[in-house]
Structure 1
Amino acid sequence: MSITQHERSIAGMGDVQPHPLDNLSVSELDAVRKILHDGEFLLESTRFVHVGLEEPNKKDVLAFSPGDAVRRWARAILIDLATGESQDIVVDIVAASVVSVRSIAPEDGQVAILDEEFELIGPIIQADPGFQEAIARRGIDPAQVVSIPLSAGHYGFDDELNHRVARSLFFMQDHPTDACWAHPVDGLCAYVDMTEGRVIKLVDFLDLPVPKESGNYDDPAFRGPERKSLKPLEISQPDGPSYQVDGEVVTWQNWKFRVGFDAREGLILRQLSFHDKGEDRPIIYRASIAEMVVPYADPSPVRFWQNYFDTGEYMFARYTNSLELGCDCVGEITYFDGVIMDEQGHPKTIKNAICMHEEDYGILWKHSDFVTGSNETRRQRRLVISFFTTVGNYDYGFFWYLYLDGTIECEAKLTGILFTSSYRGKDYPYANEVAPGLGAPYHQHLFSARLDMTVDGTNNTVQEVEVKRVPAGPGNEHGNAFTNKATPITNESEGGRLANASLARTWHITNPNSLNRFGDPVSYVLYPEQNPVLLADESATVTTRAQFTTKQLWITQYDPKERYSAGDFPNQHLGGGGIPEYQKAGRSLENEDIVLWHTFGPTHFPRPEDWPVMPVDYAKFTLKPHGFFDRNPTLDVPADVSHQHHADGGTDGHTCH
């Protein structure tokens, strides 16, 4: 089988005509550094936390025509490691000038934690006398102990106010390639001031036994003999893929969109539209994963603080994997490189950061009519755009699917290694045993998708639609009737909504100014998962800091400054930032330019089958057209010619019609 790889960079290979939403190129990132250097913003101790495209206002982008002047601004977040002071700076790349400078105050939160800071924490802890005594008492060689630094949250501790703090848990390695997650040194936790370079508190709660069994899933001797029964499964597109790529712009089967990438959000889909009735009809202006949090349920004195905002506290797309053909992606693949700024302020290219390909997806539509004798079948196909990032022990894949019938899906794939503990027995209600003496605390993974909607334009209204039972009586004498009701969400004060499976609750994003042939507003429907929202108590600090997780849906009026679900700087933020702050204005949501923030994700009670490496778990949501098209938009899909391969090596060609 011959497979052709199409490799493209999504920075520096845009359209011939520049576009306001082109990703920042290597040369532009170099220019950002020079502007900041010339402006005397860079000291020897200055580090780059994040540099991203400062996107123009949506109305300006939508009014843009090729040949117009293009605004190219970048936003740079800097920190001085010597003092902990941080700045939020916007630069004009074309004019080589600084647009704005803002010092980040402690009440704003802390900027994301750098790899360089994490690397300093292990030696700081190893040198601490309290740690040395605690490890010696446990009879453990300190050289075998691995410090795992983690974001600290905000608990109002006096010695942490106005300080950059991380907390560290500990694991043991039997040898340098040993999977440390199998051997937690539990009951011990260090609080570290990263700026002052010292342990400010050591919580030595309980001496718990270190689990002994190996977790080296990458060791053939540990895995055992491999199965021999899997036969090759080959995917081939001899005529190439059905999509076209022009720089960052992709067209496929009536779909058109721009591929974006950012060190904080990862994969971004911009200006997603569907060609219908001779025009590209807009649906979503911008879609991304704006934030996520992983809250743990173990209230132990060394674990109560475990809740990680992987997007805002770690800039999780910095750890995007370089995807490999035949491993991460199979078939006829187009790769896009991602370009980010490293902590020293130098452009870094992540090879094959994004994978795009087509997949067969079973039956699209089918009917065998006993009256007319008609027998028609069509195959569904979807376009897959994805990336994978590894944040500590977990690996997250984010997959956007576009279907022939106008359906859009976003799916998170979760795999990697469980964050483990010592198992404290069956009477301990906050963890399961996954190996002898090895616990896995209960936790959630809650993602927030930011969906900047433009359903046939920028003036949309959300209708909450749910089933309505009809009591038996006049007009429903036999009691079989049921209907639905639609309630418009007209103000931000009403914009936090919960899913309800018992009512089949969905949210219709409508355009009152665009009517279909039946005189109804066109719409797209958001179908949520029915998983729990945040399970922490209302008084918990994680609830205050991650209020976006308390509802499945939030709606705000568009503001280009409102970008992240938990605010710009969730690290050590005291809470209330992001969506709660945005909604305080109480703006109208009726026939307005609106943004949906959708919370989705699993609640994880780990299984023994999740150890030592976790099979992929899935979480997703779906957007489907509802009256957006006047009829089934896939009547023009041709019957496929499939080639059925037999065990004897023969092939039959058969047309589905």
Structure 2
Amino acid sequence: MNLPAVDTNAHHPGHLASRPASPLSSLTADEFVHIRDILSAQPTFTATTRFAYVGLEEPHKREVLAYQDGTAARPERRARVMLLDMATGASTDNIVSLDEARVVSTVAVDPAEGQVPVLLEEFDDITGICAADPRWVQALTDRGTTPEKVMCVPLSAGSYGFEEEVGRRIVRVLGFYQDYPEDHPWAHPVEGLSAYVDLTDRKITRLIDTGISPIPAESGNFDDPAVQGEPLSTLKPIEITQPEGPSFTVEGETVSWANWKFDLGFDAREGLILRNLTFSDNGEERPVIYRAALAEMVVPYGDPSPTRFWQNYFDLGEYLFGRFTNSLELGCDCLGEIKYFDVTLADEAGTPFTIKNGICMHEEDFGTLWKHTDMFTGSNEVRRSRRLVISTFTTVANYDYGFYWYLYLDGTIELEAKLTGMLFTSGYTEDNAPYTSLVAPGLGGPYHQHLFSARLDMMVDGLANAVDEVEAVRLPFSEFNDRGEAFTKSVTRLATEQSAAREANGSVGRSWHIVNTEKTNRLGQPTGYMLYPGDNPTLMADPGSSLAARAAFATKHLWVTQYDPAERYAAGDFVHQSTGGGGLPAFTAQDRSVDGEDIVVWHTFGPTHFPRPEDWPVMPTDYAKFTLKPYGFFTRNPALNVPPNKAAAGHCTNPEPGKAHGCHD
């Protein structure tokens, strides 16, 4: 897969034209070139060295805040770079100073414990490696096809203790038949066959062939009019217009909308980042979140067959899903008065490339914000809600993921994942039927999960934060509850990191109140935000499995850690072929205090998918989200001053009680 490179001027390791406005500004094309030149000038850099990851090495939060307050100098501008020598498989983790044009540190990555992300160049090599192995060719011949007709899909390998794989770069390969270039191969899995490939030695180390099954023949070409059927002719156009333009303003990466203000960022691994999220409350800029982004996601499959038991993918740590971000189009991906932001990243040669319109921002009407018709006073008031939407879409092989941050007028924050695309299919057999849905003749949709970890670096009214677990409590009959109808709530402070690893419980409405331990509202209550979790199962794999060790973050819905800038990824820094134990288990093993501290809240959410026939050949969008709502953060409803909308017959205020107006949903 080739990525387009932007034009760059000649640079050398000592030259950088300008510094970005903020210490946390996204790396620019000039800076990517500068980083490339600094590292390529090192004596250990060879013709086969590739840039597996390049991103901003963020300064410590307190350094940034001190700089913003004017009490400290600007932090040094640094980048983190993971390098891989494709000829040897050796990789290093490097910190580069852009200000001083030097390599600050280089640490060798132990391949036996985990490895840098898989390269696109390595993916591109897979077809040739497999086609050169007579065993692969014969297995396809036995199934009535050839390597030229079978698309090789290289997938992350996990860690299963195979002796020949220890310390080696491995991927596992499944095949999908493609009859002609426009034929979607996901409809035609080659069942019962997989190859384990050593990327450095460029050879198949194991070929697993459990027997021949028919290749499903029915077309999955959802973009073929013959498959789509007669177009639906009864839908009329919807047009969304803002005659006076959008309500937001943008200056560089800083966005202001209503009472909200924040900075946008982007990273090849994490994708979209929101920074310095504040709400203006009667003129006071009150911080809510310092930094919010995805920290990992895992997609584990439930089929234990010899050719598929290893299927689980960490799309951030193993694949760097941010680099697959789509260029969005007006009228197709986004509607209304749109502001697009381009995304600049580095390719595997260290050269910058630009994804046009990688981030979309717009406003949406969201129905009723608040409303009341009063029987005593005759008051009849309604206000319409709207939200600011900041979104990206990324395609990782068969799946398409949209990530939508929503900011609301009443101070609510949401992150919603939208999942669509094509199922990662299998042949449907008697053996895999307990773990697979039949979605088309002979075609299976294996059971699987999508578990996202959101890293929320909280800053609710300042740095001294804590988390209370809140539950609804049923009360038994008693002297004070003589009719048995009373109920109350319990509030439990999560004091340390290990006690704060928690699971959601919808039966008692369990939620988590993130409070400031030093500030109160006018009622004497701590100012705070409530995290309402997504209602979904945690990781389904057995606790003793290799996957549970590697994806331990997904075994809990909530984790809380004391802030450490080095603790950024929920499954650890080096996820590909990791042996487990990294990330949140390692962070929380310290069992630091999280009561009145600078804390990071990690939330696991996402669906467990038992595919339906209706999910084929392309999936209607599924949704998973969580919500942060102000709870005691404000002295009263912060959206009282939202003005009424104009309706066809005047304002959304009716002086005649009981009479309808034109602004209801």
- Same fold (TM > 0.5): yes
- Aligned partner of 2:198 in structure 1 is 193
Cα offset for 1:655? Answer: 3.7
Counterpart amino acid of residue 43 in structure 2: E
Could you tell which deviates more after superposition, 184-193 or 137-146? Answer: 137-146
Q: Secondary structure at 2:136's aligned position in 1?
A: helix
CA separation in 1, counterparts of 2:450 and 2:498?
Answer: 26
After TM superposition, the structure 1 = structure 2 runs for residues 507-518 of structure 1, keeping only pairs within 5 Å, are 507-518=512-523
Deviation of 1:107 after TM superposition, in Å, equals 3.7
Q: Please state whether the residue corresponding to 1:287 is helix, strand or coil.
A: strand
Q: Distance in 1 between matches of 2:68 and 2:58?
A: 16
Contact 2:137 2:146 in 1 (8 A): no
2:465/2:597 contact within 8 Å kept: yes
Deviations 1:516-574 (A, max 9, x none): 00111111000012110001111211111000000100111000000000000110000
Question: Is 2:301 aligned against 1:301?
Answer: no
2:306 match: secondary structure: coil
The CA distance in 1 between the partners of 2:348 and 2:408, in whole Å, is: 39
Amino acid at match of 1:404: L
User: 1:585, CA displacement in angstroms?
Assistant: 1.0
Range with greater deviation from structure 2 (276-285 or 161-170): 276-285
C-alpha change, 1:397 and 1:456, in structure 2 (3 Å) is same
Task: Indicate the percent of aligned positions where both proteins have the same amino acid.
Answer: 59
Q: Distance in 2 between matches of 1:594 and 1:553?
A: 13
Letter in structure 2 aligned against 1:298: D
Once the two structures are superposed, the pairs formed by residues 105-254 of structure 1 within 5 Å of their partners are: 105-254=110-259
TM-superposition CA deviations, 1:151-193 (whole Å, max 9, x none): 0000011010000000000110111110001111100000000
The residue matched to 1:496 in structure 2 has which SS? coil
Alpha-carbon shift at residue 139 of structure 1 (Å) = 1.8
For residue 143 of structure 1, report the CA deviation from its aligned partner: 1.7
8 Å CA contact 2:63–2:75 kept in 1: the answer is no
Give the deviation of 1:99 after TM superposition.
1.1
1:24, 1:53 within 8 Å by CA — same for their partners in 2? yes
Which of 43, 47, 52 pairs up with 1:44?
47
Shift of 1:426: 9.3
8 Å contact from structure 1 (residues 272, 286) kept in 2: yes
Match of 2:543 in 1: 538
What's the counterpart of residue 392 of structure 1?
Answer: 397
Residue 464 of structure 1: SS of its match in structure 2? strand
Contact 2:59-2:75 at 8 Å conserved across structures: no
Is residue 376 of structure 1 aligned with residue 381 of structure 2?
yes
Superimposed CA distance per residue, residues 385-419 of structure 1 (whole angstroms, 9 cap, x where no aligned partner): 00000000000000000000000000000000000
Partner of 1:411: 416
How far did 1:18 drift?
Answer: 1.6
Q: Which amino acid in 1 is paired with 2:367?
A: G
- Measured after TM superposition, the shift of residue 206 of structure 1 is 2.1
Residue 379 of structure 1 aligns to which amino acid in structure 2? R
Q: Which residue of 2 aligns with 1:582?
A: 587
2:435 maps to 1:453: no
Q: Distance in 2 between matches of 1:553 and 1:69?
A: 34
| 1:79 pairs with 2:57 | no
State the Cα deviation string for residues 415-462 of structure 1 (Å, max 9, x = none): 000000111149821101111110010000000000000000011010
C-alpha distance 66-558 of structure 1, shift in aligned 2 (>3 A) = closer
* Residue of structure 2 aligned with 1:438, choices 405, 421, 443: 443
Give the structure 2 partner of residue 363 of structure 1: 368
Q: Go from structure 1 to structure 2 and tell me whether the alpha carbon gap of 1:17 and 1:118 turns closer, same or farther (over 3 Å shift).
A: closer
Change (3 A) 1:427 1:414: closer
Say if 2:152 and 2:174, in contact at 8 Å, map to a contact too.
yes
1:626 aligns with 2:631: yes
Can you list the C-alpha shifts for 1:561-619, whole angstroms capped at 9, x where unaligned? Answer: 00000000110000111000111111001100000110000000000100000010000
1:469 match: 474
CA distance in 2, matches of 1:141, 1:311: 33
Bigger Cα displacement from structure 2, 592-601 vs 223-232:
223-232
1:7 equivalent in structure 2: none
The DSSP-based 3-state class of the residue aligned with 1:581 is: helix
CA distance in 2, matches of 1:656, 1:38: 69
Partner of 2:15: none
Q: Contact 1:389–1:396 at 8 Å: present in 2 too?
A: yes
| Residue pair 2:382, 2:652 contacting (<8 A) in 1 also | no
Matched, 1:265 2:270: yes
Q: Are residue 62 (structure 1) and residue 65 (structure 2) matched?
A: yes
Distance 1:653 1:541, change over 3 A: same
Counterpart of 1:439 in 2: which secondary structure?
Answer: strand
Residues 265 and 275 in structure 2, CA contact (< 8 A), matched pair in contact too: yes
Q: CA deviation at 1:16?
A: 10
Equivalent-residue separation in structure 1 for 2:106 and 2:610 (angstroms):
45
In structure 2, what is the equivalent of residue 27 of structure 1?
Answer: 30
Does residue 424 of the first structure (1) align with residue 452 of the second (2)? no
Following the alignment from structure 2 to structure 1, what is the Cα–Cα distance between the partners of residues 452 and 581? 18
Report the Cα offset of residue 279 of structure 1. Answer: 1.1
- Superposed displacement of residue 141, structure 1: 2.8
**Range with bigger deviation, 530-539 or 155-164:** 530-539
Match of 2:622 in 1: 617
SS in 2 for 1:492: coil
**Residue 142 of structure 1, CA deviation:** 2.8
Match for 1:571 among 559, 570, 576?
576
Displacement of 1:37 in angstroms is 2.0
Q: Distance in 2 between matches of 1:59 and 1:355?
A: 30
Q: Does the 8 A contact of 1:87 with 1:102 survive in 2?
A: yes
The number of residue pairs the alignment matches comes to 635
- Give the superposition deviation at 1:654: 4.9
Question: Which of residues 592, 597, 605 in structure 2 aligns to 1:600?
Answer: 605
Correspondent of 1:488 among 486, 493, 515: 493
Asked whether the 8 Å contact 1:17–1:66 carries over to 2, the reply is no
Q: Distance in 2 between matches of 1:101 and 1:433?
A: 50
The secondary structure found in structure 1 opposite 2:433 is: coil
Q: Distance in 1 between matches of 2:105 and 2:478?
A: 67
Please state how far the C-alpha of 1:65 moved relative to its aligned partner.
3.4
CA distance in 2, matches of 1:89, 1:368: 63
Q: What is the SS of the residue equivalent to 2:342?
A: strand
CA displacement at 1:108 relative to structure 2 = 3.6
Distance of 1:182 and 1:363 partners within structure 2: 43
Following superposition, the deviation at residue 97 of structure 1 comes to 1.2
1:53 paired residue number: 56
Equivalent of residue 107 in structure 2, options 88, 99, 102: 102
* 2:279 partner amino acid: F
Aligned equivalents of 2:434, 2:192: Cα separation in 1: 17
**What is the CA–CA distance in structure 1 between the aligned matches of 2:282 and 2:460, rounded to whole Å?**
15
Secondary structure at the counterpart of residue 576 of structure 2: coil
* CA deviation map 1:227-276 (0-9, x unaligned): 11110100000100001101000011110100000000000000101001
Aligned to 1:65, the other structure's residue is in SS state: helix
Alpha-carbon contact 1:18-1:70 (below 8 Å) kept: no
Query: Matched residue of 2:484: which SS?
Result: coil
Paired residue type of 2:65: L
Provide the C-alpha distance between the structure 2 equivalents of 1:217 and 1:138, rounded to a whole number of angstroms: 26
Given that 1:455 and 1:523 are in contact with CA atoms closer than 8 Å, whether structure 2 keeps it comes out as yes
Q: Amino acid of the residue matched to residue 58 of structure 2? A: E
1:434 aligned counterpart, secondary structure: strand
- Partners in 1 of 2:169 and 2:261 — Cα distance? 44
Root-mean-square deviation over aligned CA pairs: 1.4
In 2, the alpha carbon distance for the partners of 1:126 and 1:518 equals 72
